[in-house]
């Protein structure tokens, strides 16, 4: 009733408005309404709830979902949309459709049974292909249907788990007759589980009560089973499970990082893994740690540059051997992609009868492999009515055009295709053209029908195949229901499977009595440590540049210049040039230098360039950063992007630098207050402390020479944020030795070099040691020496040379940390083996 008063429209009127003009596409079935245009009963509860909301309320709910999508940074990448310098640049926000696909529980039973059956069938088939090969020998499947696939990985033949299926997905479409059909099998490394989860969370944000009132099946149990399935594959009770990603340039990197965090797996790239003594290890800061199970999101062929694709930079040299030795379980088995071939589809009904003694519950779309004479002739006879597709994923060579509708081709191309099929039919399949069903999408204030496909997932678990009650629904923007690929212009939506009874909520949190208390969070891979360290350094570098810019602009807009002002301005400009933030030259006024130090992406030391680098390093370790922290990068980047049109005034630029510094302070606050003091935080902080120590030494050398003016010393106090402290301690204006003591040697001043050194000393002491002989490792040895030097130093004896020495020792510690903990150097022989776990 409330809604009625506010909106001034009745429920019935809203319903009429939503449904206005909703007509199924010709020849296609619609999920939402029947042929007469009546809303199907299982959508009624949903529609009722929607109609209870006014248009404003509805849009407000959508806003909640969209904000969730924006805040978690859900994104995907479009192929070819890549900027090496800024991996997160080509990411697109996730296009969420706010109308879920509703499927009644009874109907879902059939889909789930069909997908589980198919998973079992393909799994059995894979075991046979990489094992005894009886299905081919018995003539149920021509050998050429297997051997033509570039994903048939011969080195895996006979290897344990060579083709084991752990996660399977089927892309389904519903035909005009109401039956669900399998359009495509996904057995390589199916994507979409994470996106399905994200869609669910976003819609839960928008319509929390509907999930209760409509008894919608939850997804968490599926992920729990999936994880249990992976754990069960290991010989160890608490296995180390890695998610092997192709890296941040991959189109679904976000999903991988998200799933790694959600499931508690270690996100690794090929370079993080090392094969030694027949086993796969993760290279961590504490040495080599065994990887027991690898959930791969790279194609099997790319997994080992030695025995598989030599061109691959994504894999691990020797991985196939580790698989053969049975020392690591890879999910899906490296060779699993072979059953994705379209050529296979036409044979599956007969194979199912033979292997399972069952008929397929879900049929696949009618497929004729043109490697057989009768089928080839049938396809050529009816070419115009068919969709023609490559029989196998192309091995590369640019022939993979994807499916085409032969009838839509110009005559010359159609005849060329005919000739190719006649000559090498085994490379092609003909498939019946599917007319997909449509579902509603909210557009311009009402609902419209759009074609859709549904990806359903099944996971192998100790209790058999478990199917995710829901899925990943993709919606086309084209009204053509024959659309054969939904890659372009797609939206996606949540899938609601309704149960008859209320659904018990379940999250991934285990029951309290079964979980052992733990205070250390896993092991930190060397690559992650490296990136966190550099993230810290770039952020601090950005901060230092911003402080320089602010100090410079503050002096330019000051109407009452102090003595020595022009010298200070020159020095500030010189330092910007020395840092690579700005250019030198006659045309470069101090103000121009300040602008380029803020904005210029061509000057590697500018604040904008440092943020770009920080974001690049962060994007590689996204699973380790909170959503809030990630959002700050976006804020910083937009603050440091010049607005269209005109150059800001000096005063405005000052404000911009000031605001960006506040955003950075927010990041520091987050990392200080919200990050667990594990090894990850430690490397981030070490990076910041080193950079700040080095920067402060440089400031001191530039502004605290023996004959430095009061203005110059003031600048040093500004740059180190120490004005207030200085004034509270000393009544007189800035003078050399007290300033130097405060900036360099005072361990109580959090901006001083001494303070950074003390923090570094404490943090380096907490890093893991690999030596067993009781000797100090290089980073520790160097910091202890520097700390002693610093504690015993006196301000009266500090000069450019001794400050430079501090600076160099700090740089030395930076290299020692890189040598010891990061990947670029592997250290002397044997030193890595001591850490084997």
Partner 1 sequence: MIYDVRHVTTYGYSRQVPFARCIMRLLPRDGSGQSVQKSELSVMPRPAERSDAACFFGNRMTTVTITKPHRELKVEMRARLSVERSAPPHPGLTRGWEEVAALALASDSLAPASPTHHIYPSRLVPEVGAVVAYARTSFGKGRPVLEAASELMARIRHDFTYDPAATEVSTPLAEAFAQRHGVCQDFAHIMIAGLRGLGLPAAYVSGYIRTIPPPGQKRLEGADASHAWALLWCGPETGWVGLDPTNDLIVADDHIVTAIGRDYADVAPLDGVLIGPGSQKIGVAVDVIPVG
Q: Which residues bind partner 1 (CB under 8 A)?
A: 129, 133, 136-137, 139, 142-144, 146-148, 154-155, 157, 275-277, 305-307, 309-310, 317-318, 321, 371, 392, 395-397, 399, 423-424, 426-427, 825-830
Cβ neighbours, 10 Å, residue 358: 12
List, in sequence order, every residue forming a beta bridge with 184; answer none if it has no partner.
171
- Answer for the pair 461, 174: CB distance below 8 angstroms, yes or no: no
Query: Which CB contacts under 8 angstroms, 24+ apart, belong to 798-801?
Result: 798/700, 798/740, 798/744, 798/745, 799/706, 800/701, 800/705
- CA–CA separation, 44 vs 86, rounded Å? 47
133 burial level (CB within 10 Å; 0-12, 13-18, 19+)? middle
284/720 with CB nearer partner 1: 284
Q: Closest separation between CB of residue 294 and partner 1, Å?
A: 18
> How far, in whole angstroms, is CA 129 from its chain's centroid?
33
148/239 with CB nearer partner 1: 148
Q: Closest separation between CB of residue 320 and partner 1, Å?
A: 10
- Answer for the pair 505, 218: CB distance below 8 angstroms, yes or no: yes
Q: Closest separation between CB of residue 142 and partner 1, Å?
A: 7
Six token digits for residue 348: 């599956």
129/230 with CB nearer partner 1: 129
> How far, in whole angstroms, is CA 522 from its chain's centroid?
20
64/136 with CB nearer partner 1: 136
Token pair 């092609």: residue: 428
| Closest-CA residue to 59 (of 7, 24, 16) | 7
26/828 with CB nearer partner 1: 828
Q: Closest separation between CB of residue 316 and partner 1, Å?
A: 9
Six token digits for residue 509: 């949190």
Element (DSSP H or E) covering residue 496: strand 495-498
423/501 with CB nearer partner 1: 423
157/701 with CB nearer partner 1: 157
Six token digits for residue 674: 């919200």
Six token digits for residue 462: 């100790």
133/567 with CB nearer partner 1: 133
Q: Closest separation between CB of residue 594 and partner 1, Å?
A: 38
159/713 with CB nearer partner 1: 159
Q: Closest separation between CB of residue 260 and partner 1, Å?
A: 25
Cα-Cα-Cα-Cα torsion 128, 134, 136, 140, nearest 10 degrees, comes to -100
- CA–CA separation, 162 vs 373, rounded Å? 32
58: left (phi > 0), else alpha (psi -120 to 50), else beta? alpha
Q: Closest separation between CB of residue 338 and partner 1, Å?
A: 11
- CA–CA separation, 216 vs 223, rounded Å? 16
Q: Closest separation between CB of residue 134 and partner 1, Å?
A: 10
| Closest-CA residue to 778 (of 749, 733, 830, 818) | 818
86/819 with CB nearer partner 1: 819
> How far, in whole angstroms, is CA 772 from its chain's centroid?
38
Q: What is the three-class DSSP state of 159?
A: coil
Q: Closest separation between CB of residue 266 and partner 1, Å?
A: 21
310/411 with CB nearer partner 1: 310
Q: Closest separation between CB of residue 39 and partner 1, Å?
A: 51
What's the N-to-C CA distance of the chain in angstroms? 65
Q: Closest separation between CB of residue 274 and partner 1, Å?
A: 9
Token pair 């030198």: residue: 584
- Looking at the chain, how many residues does it have? 837
148/403 with CB nearer partner 1: 148
324/555 with CB nearer partner 1: 324
129/172 with CB nearer partner 1: 129
- Answer for the pair 294, 145: CB distance below 8 angstroms, yes or no: no
Six token digits for residue 312: 């691959």
- Answer for the pair 457, 193: CB distance below 8 angstroms, yes or no: yes
Q: Closest separation between CB of residue 143 and partner 1, Å?
A: 4
- Answer for the pair 503, 489: CB distance below 8 angstroms, yes or no: no
Q: Who contacts 815 (Cβ-Cβ below 8 Å, separation ≥6)? A: none
- CA–CA separation, 571 vs 555, rounded Å? 12
368/579 with CB nearer partner 1: 368
Q: Closest separation between CB of residue 121 and partner 1, Å?
A: 19
599 burial level (CB within 10 Å; 0-12, 13-18, 19+)? buried
- CA–CA separation, 598 vs 582, rounded Å? 9
Q: Closest separation between CB of residue 278 and partner 1, Å?
A: 8
Six token digits for residue 638: 């937009």
Q: Closest separation between CB of residue 426 and partner 1, Å?
A: 6
């Amino acid at each position: 009733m409330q809604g009625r008063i506010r909106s001034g429209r009745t429920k019935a009127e809203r319903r009429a408005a939503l449904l206005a003009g909703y007509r199924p596409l010709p020849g296609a079935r619609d999920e939402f309404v029947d042929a007469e245009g009546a809303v199907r009963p299982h959508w009624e509860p949903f529609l009722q709830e929607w109609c209870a909301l006014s248009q404003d309320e509805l849009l407000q709910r959508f806003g909640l979902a969209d904000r969730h999508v924006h805040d978690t940074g859900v994104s995907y990448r479009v192929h070819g949309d890549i900027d090496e310098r800024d991996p997160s640049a080509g990411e697109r926000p996730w296009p969420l459709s706010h109308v879920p696909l509703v499927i009644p529980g009874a109907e879902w039973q059939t889909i789930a049974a069909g997908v589980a059956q198919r998973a079992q069938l393909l799994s059995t088939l894979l075991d046979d292909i990489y094992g005894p090969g009886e299905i081919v020998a018995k003539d149920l499947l021509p050998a050429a249907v297997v051997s033509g696939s570039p994903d048939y990985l011969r080195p895996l033949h006979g290897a344990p788990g060579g083709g084991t299926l752990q996660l399977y997905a089927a892309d389904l479409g519903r035909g005009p007759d109401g039956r669900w059909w399998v359009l495509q099998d996904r057995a390589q490394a199916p994507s979409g589980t994470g996106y399905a989860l994200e869609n669910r969370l976003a819609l839960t944000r928008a319509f929390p009560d509907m999930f209760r009132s409509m008894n919608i099946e939850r997804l968490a149990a599926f992920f729990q089973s999936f994880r249990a399935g992976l754990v069960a594959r290991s010989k160890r009770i608490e296995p180390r499970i890695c998610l092997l990603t192709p890296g941040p340039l991959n189109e679904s990197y976000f999903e991988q990082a998200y799933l790694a965090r959600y499931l508690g797996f270690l996100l690794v790239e090929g370079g993080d893994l090392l094969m030694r003594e027949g086993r796969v290890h993760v290279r961590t800061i504490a040495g080599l740690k065994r990887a027991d199970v690898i959930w791969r999101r790279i194609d099997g062929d790319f997994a080992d540059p030695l025995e598989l694709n030599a061109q691959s930079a994504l894999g691990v040299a020797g991985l196939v051997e580790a698989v053969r030795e049975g020392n690591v379980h890879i999910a899906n088995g490296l060779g699993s992609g072979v059953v994705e071939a379209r050529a296979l589809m036409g044979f599956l009904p007969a194979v199912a009868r033979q292997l399972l003694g069952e008929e397929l519950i879900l049929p696949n779309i009618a497929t004729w492999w043109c490697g057989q004479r009768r089928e080839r002739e049938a396809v050529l006879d009816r070419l115009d009515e068919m969709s023609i597709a490559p029989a196998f994923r192309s091995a590369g060579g640019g022939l993979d055009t994807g499916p085409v509708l032969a009838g839509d081709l110009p005559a010359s191309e159609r005849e060329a295709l005919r000739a190719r099929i006649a000559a090498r039919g085994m490379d092609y399949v003909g498939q019946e053209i599917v007319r997909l069903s449509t579902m509603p999408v909210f557009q311009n204030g009402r609902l419209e029908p759009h074609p859709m496909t549904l990806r359903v997932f099944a996971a192998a678990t100790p209790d058999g195949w478990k199917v995710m009650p829901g899925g990943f629904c993709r919606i086309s923007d084209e009204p053509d229901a024959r659309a054969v690929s939904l890659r372009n212009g797609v939206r996606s939506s949540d899938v609601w499977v309704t149960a008859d009874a209320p659904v018990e909520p379940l999250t991934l949190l285990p029951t309290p009595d079964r979980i052992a208390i733990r205070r250390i969070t896993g092991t930190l891979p060397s690559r992650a440590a490296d990136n966190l360290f550099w993230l810290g350094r770039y952020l601090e570098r950005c901060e230092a540049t911003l402080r320089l810019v602010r100090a410079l602009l503050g002096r330019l807009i000051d109407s009452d210049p102090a003595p020595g002002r022009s010298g200070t301005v020159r020095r500030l400009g010189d330092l910007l040039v020395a840092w690579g933030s700005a250019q030198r030259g006659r045309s470069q006024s101090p103000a121009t230098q300040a602008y380029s130090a803020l904005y210029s992406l061509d000057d590697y030391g500018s604040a904008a360039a440092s943020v770009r680098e920080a974001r690049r390093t962060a994007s590689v370790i996204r699973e380790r950063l909170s959503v809030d922290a990630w959002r700050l990068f976006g804020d910083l980047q937009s603050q440091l992007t010049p607005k269209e049109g005109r150059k800001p005034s000096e005063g405005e630029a000052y404000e911009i630098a000031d605001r960006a510094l506040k955003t950075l302070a927010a990041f520091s606050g987050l990392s200080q207050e919200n990050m667990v003091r594990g090894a990850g935080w430690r490397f981030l902080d070490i990076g910041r402390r080193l950079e700040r120590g080095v920067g402060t030494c440089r400031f001191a050398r530039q502004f605290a020479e023996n004959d430095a003016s009061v203005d110059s010393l003031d600048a040093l106090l500004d740059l180190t944020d120490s004005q207030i402290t200085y004034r509270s301690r000393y009544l007189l204006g800035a003078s050399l030795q007290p300033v130097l003591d405060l900036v360099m040697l005072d361990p109580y001043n959090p901006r001083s070099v001494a303070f950074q050194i003390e923090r570094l000393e404490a943090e380096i002491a907490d890093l893991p040691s690999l030596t067993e002989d009781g000797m100090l490792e290089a980073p520790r040895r160097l910091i202890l020496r520097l700390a002693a030097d610093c504690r015993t130093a006196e301000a009266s004896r500090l000069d450019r040379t001794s400050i430079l020495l501090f600076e160099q020792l700090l740089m030395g510690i930076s290299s020692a940390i890189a040598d010891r903990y990061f990947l670029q150097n592997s250290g002397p022989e044997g030193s890595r083996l001591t850490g084997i776990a």
